[in-house]
Amino acid sequence: MKEVSVLIGGKAGDGINSAGAMVAQLLNHMGYRIYLYFDYPSLIRGGHNFAIIRGAEQGIGTCREKVDFVLALNKETVEKHRSMWHADTVVLVNADLVKGEGQGIPVKEILALENAPDIMGNSAVIGGFAKAAGIDWETVNAVFLSHIPKGVEMNLKVARRAYDMIAPTRPVSRFPSPALPLIAGNEAIGLGLLKGGLEAYVSYPMTPSSSLLHFLAEQKERFGIQVVHPESEIAVVLMGLGFACAGKRAAVGTSGGGFCLMTEGLSFEGMAELPLVLLVSQRTGPSTGLPTYTGQSDLRLVLHAGQGEFPRLIVAPGDALEAMYWSAVAMNLAWKYQVPAFILADKTLSEGTYSIDPAAFVDPPFADSPRWDGSVPYRRYADSPSGVSPLAFPGAKDAVVKVNSYAHDEPGITTEEGPMVAMMTEKRLRKWRGLAAEMDNYSPVSTSGAAGAPTALLCWGSTKGVCTEVAGALGLRVVQPVVLSPFPTRQVRKALEGTSRIICVEENATGQLGELAQQHGITADTRILKYDGRPFTREELEGKVREVLA
Amino acid sequence: MTPRNLITDALNTWCPGCGNFTIQHTLKNILAGMEKEGKSLDDVVLVTGIGCHAKMADYLNINSVYTLHGRTIPVATGIKLANPKLTVICCSGDGDCYAEGLDHLIFAAKRNIDITVIVHNNRVYGLTTGQYTPTSPLGFRGKSTPMGTAEYPFNPLELMLAGGATYIARGYTKKMDQLKNLLAQGISHHGFAFIDVLQICATFFPVADYYGSRVYDLAGNDTGDFEAACHVAREWDYNTDSRIALGLFYQRKAPTFEEAMLSPPVAVTGRQEAIASLLKSRT
């Protein structure tokens, strides 16, 4: 087998996410590149949770329709996912709860024999899986030692008992590649922000952005940052801007509904020329929508949010490595141009787990605004050819720093004079031109698949993974603008050169990237859209693309 | 060192007789005093909302952030967290702070962030030309309530006592000496300081005579006694006729938010190592 997919399911509270992470690590140590998708309803206990762990020889970012192993912690897992079995799917079940299906693991009995607590039951299932998949005990032992923080010896004993009971029915290949770090998209965003100099993260919990708040709060001492959870998203964005006013690199994070509350603050950010990074991780909308499911329906919102006209950077990374890189870029360019910089993610990216190769990562260049040199009285909004004014912060000797949400003059005093208002508007918009020109220093469009192919899949964000695989199978090319504002028209055109057909693939109902591209003179011939909250599987998209090509 | 000119060249557009002039001069005098005592005004930041009060940002020649309606406090909180060495003063209005941004006020009190919030409480919206605010009396006839309001005002002092503020005072723009003491003490208070300033709006709510016959100075009150502070705060409910106490109602010491939230910074190289070690732990 060149690749393997494992589904593990149970009820909410069964620890499916952490058990899934252990399965992922076992495959990681067998040399596989990993993508883990976690599916859960919006409740705390009792609903059905499952994770699909997929391993392949090459990097991946999507799931298959069928799975090779099913690890069922309850009956529902067997019943709900039977359509995902193929003829050789290996089904391992908790024999206490599931009868008459697959191979049973007597979890209660094993726990009793080892006098182990209930919480270690998943180790029995993981041990059983390892044996069924032909994973050697040394690998199991090493993975447990590295990834179980408490009671590892007893967990190993529990796993071993199950390991000895199950037959190696479907051994998976071992690849020579070394194990790589496995991180979730939101963690990758956090690490990128840290590489970009993050000093403070401010956020109010909202799925699917919350796991970044949790990650940074847990790790804040390791990285020497402040993490604040205020009373509302309104307070979040304004506190973030307070950090920026005082000269600290800050970021905020939310999802669509919380971002709606931030829009007034966003417009203030644009007018006052304050640098702040905003993570907006999309879920299925409108309104409360599907809180724990994915979507790509907020591009138009993020492009246009906030009254008035001001420049903004929007990056939409497609996987963890891109998320790390572009989050660092977002922070640097926010500070270089004193503009809002968005990281537009979605549930698939934010909460999916990916293999990343640190050796493949090059830190983007550090960038910042010039600082006031003290030779002339400080003017917060001093005009310049680039539109960027030198920065000084309260506390700087002899600088009177006046930040203003009103139309203002160069020192930052409110004005209603027409010529000054027009001049300052032009000053702000010049930064947009600078940002657009800046894109020559980066690769704002990712491409994959067959470079010269006449048919291109045009996509953005997390659908990169599935599009790349489908393009690989069908001999198509993939064009994925990572930067969506300023829209890299020239680079997208170049990536599309020689195509005769453009198929736009999006997880929304109205084709928002297609519309944006159209505004820049790039017309997609066909759209393939999905809007049920679930990401495309490889087979699903491949089928739809084949229909279009037929 | 020559003292800083504390007033900018910006044209002052407050109405003649506006109580904001008193607050401006009081702040100017306090700032001049701070400078005289050797404190650098470079370390002071004024944060204002939107409304007549907020023009203070244009008029005082110190660092300022002229924010949004109701949003002084979260911006001020971010600034203080980012640089605890700064002295952060919010000038806010009653519509600003008690209506649009009330949640931030209560949370700032709850957190005991070391900032000073001065509420220019003229009990009417001035800049939007005369509507009721949360502290207008019942039956107030404004442009949005021509038949009179159907809701009672609330008592901001009681709210702040319930919210956990560690410095609670009320001043009056016709009592400038006392106002100066209350603001100066609030600024030097280590923790969240709240001063409700009864400010005369000469155009839309000119109640100087009303206040003049009712205000009295608190004297000899035990400012550490919470129950006593509640009692005296309830004497006037911003609606019915009674004596109106001015002065410091309550003060206590408590740990501040910015101290609790400090994280020792990690150097750039240390951070790269921390990222590498985190990635290793995920392998």
Taking the model in full, what pTM does it have?
0.97
Among A405, A416, A417, A420, which would you mutate to test the B interface (most chain B Cβ atoms within 10 Å of its Cβ)?
Answer: A405
Q: How confident is the model at residue B267 (pLDDT cuts 50, 70, 90)?
A: confident
Cβ neighbours for B260, distance < 8 A, ≥ 6 positions apart: none
Name the residue facing A235 among B8, B58, B104 (closest C-beta).
B104
Contact B83 A394 (CB under 8 A): yes
C-alpha B157, offset from chain centre: 12
CB A243 within 8 A of CB A199: yes
Q: Which of A55, A358, A59, A369 is nearest to A191 (CA)?
A: A358
| DSSP single-letter state for residue B95 | I
Helix (H, G, I), strand (E, B) or coil at B113: coil
Reading across the β-sheet that carries A445-449, which strands appear in turn? A445-449, A477-481, A455-458, A501-506, A526-529
Domains of chain B by residue range: 20-281
Locate the DSSP E strands across A40-109.
48-56, 67-72, 85-94, 103-105
pLDDT at B272: 92
* Domain B20-281 top-level CATH class: alpha beta
- pLDDT tens per residue across span A35-55: 999 999 888 777 899 999 999
With beta carbons under 8 A apart, name residues in chain A contacting B66. 402-406, 408, 412, 414
| A-contacting residues in B 94-123 (Cβ below 8 Å) | 103-104, 107
d(Cα A326, Cα A442) in Å, to the nearest integer?
Answer: 10
Half-sphere CA count of A515, side-chain side, radius 13 A: 13
Rounded to a whole number, what is the distance in Å from the CA of A276 to chain B's nearest CA?
12
Rounded to a whole number, what is the distance in Å from the CA of A213 to chain B's nearest CA?
15
d(Cα A1, Cα A89) in Å, to the nearest integer?
Answer: 13
Residues of chain A with pLDDT under 70: 1
Give the number of A-B residue pairs with CB atoms closer than 8 Å.
175
pLDDT at B1: 56
User: Where does chain A hold its CATH 3.40.50.970 domain(s)?
Assistant: 183-360
User: Where does chain A hold its CATH 3.40.50.920 domain(s)?
Assistant: 445-549
d(Cα A322, Cα A326) in Å, to the nearest integer?
Answer: 6
Among A28, A238, A267, A332, which would you mutate to test the B interface (most chain B Cβ atoms within 10 Å of its Cβ)?
Answer: A238
Largest CA distance in chain B: 75
d(Cα A331, Cα B218) in Å, to the nearest integer?
Answer: 52
d(Cα A399, Cα A159) in Å, to the nearest integer?
Answer: 65
| A-contacting residues in B 6-25 (Cβ below 8 Å) | 8-10
With beta carbons under 8 A apart, name residues in chain B contacting A194. 271, 275
Interface check for B78 against chain A (CB to CB < 8 A): the answer is: yes
Contact A395 B43 (CB under 8 A): yes
pLDDT at A461: 98
d(Cα B230, Cα B250) in Å, to the nearest integer?
Answer: 9
pLDDT at B87: 98
Contact B68 A268 (CB under 8 A): yes
Name the residue facing B65 among A226, A403, A414 (closest C-beta).
A403
Rounded to a whole number, what is the distance in Å from the CA of B77 to chain A's nearest CA?
6
d(Cα A416, Cα A421) in Å, to the nearest integer?
Answer: 7
Rounded to a whole number, what is the distance in Å from the CA of B8 to chain A's nearest CA?
9
* Burial class for B134, CB neighbours closer than 10 Å (0-12, 13-18, 19+): buried
Q: What does the mean pLDDT of chain B come to?
A: 96
CATH level 3 topology of A183-360: Rossmann fold (3.40.50)
Q: Which residues of B150-167 are buried (b: 16+ CB within 10 A; e: fewer)?
A: eeebebbbbbbbebbbbb
Half-sphere CA count of A418, side-chain side, radius 13 A: 0
Q: Which of A44, A42, A43, A62 is nearest to A52 (CA)?
A: A62
* Burial class for A100, CB neighbours closer than 10 Å (0-12, 13-18, 19+): exposed
Q: What is the mean pLDDT of residues B15-33?
A: 97
Instruction: Return the residue matching tokens 């949003």.
Output: B71
Cis check: omega of the bond before B264, within 30 degrees of 0 = no
State the alpha helices, DSSP H only, in A246-319. 256-272, 299-304
d(Cα B229, Cα B17) in Å, to the nearest integer?
Answer: 32
Q: What does the block give as tokens for A203?
A: 């956020």
- pLDDT tens per residue across span B144-165: 999 999 999 999 999 999 999 9
CB B250 within 8 A of CB B185: no
Cα first-last separation, chain B: 60
Rounded to a whole number, what is the distance in Å from the CA of B89 to chain A's nearest CA?
13
A7, containing H or E segment? strand A3-11
Rounded to a whole number, what is the distance in Å from the CA of A349 to chain B's nearest CA?
17
Q: How confident is the model at residue B172 (pLDDT cuts 50, 70, 90)?
A: very high
Contact A358 B276 (CB under 8 A): yes
Reading across the β-sheet that carries B244-251, which strands appear in turn? A402-404, B63-66, B44-48, B87-93, B116-121, B193-198, B167-172, B244-251, B215-217
Name the residue facing A191 among B104, B262, B275 (closest C-beta).
B275
d(Cα A172, Cα B278) in Å, to the nearest integer?
Answer: 29
Helix (H, G, I), strand (E, B) or coil at B60: strand
Angle at A364 between CA A361 and CA A366, to 5 degrees: 145
Contact A239 B81 (CB under 8 A): yes
d(Cα A360, Cα A379) in Å, to the nearest integer?
Answer: 43
pLDDT at B250: 98
Contact A242 B82 (CB under 8 A): yes
pLDDT at B279: 96
Cβ neighbours for B246, distance < 8 A, ≥ 6 positions apart: B170, B171, B172, B175, B178, B198, B215, B216, B217, B218
Largest CA distance in chain A: 84
CATH level 3 topology of A3-165: Pyruvate-ferredoxin Oxidoreductase; domain 3 (3.40.920)
Q: How confident is the model at residue B264 (pLDDT cuts 50, 70, 90)?
A: confident
CB A478 within 8 A of CB A464: yes
Taking domain A445-549, whether its CATH number is 3.40.50.920 is answered by yes
Contact B65 A245 (CB under 8 A): yes
Q: Which of A298, A351, A504 is nearest to A40 (CA)?
A: A351
pLDDT at A46: 76
| A-contacting residues in B 140-199 (Cβ below 8 Å) | none
Cβ neighbours for A244, distance < 8 A, ≥ 6 positions apart: A250, A269, A274, A275, A276, B78
Rounded to a whole number, what is the distance in Å from the CA of A124 to chain B's nearest CA?
22
With beta carbons under 8 A apart, name residues in chain A contacting B263. 220-221, 224-227
Q: What does the block give as tokens for B80?
A: 């203080």
Instruction: Return the residue matching tokens 């997880």.
Output: A507
Query: Residue B220: how many CB atoms within 10 A of its CB?
Result: 4
| DSSP single-letter state for residue B131 | B
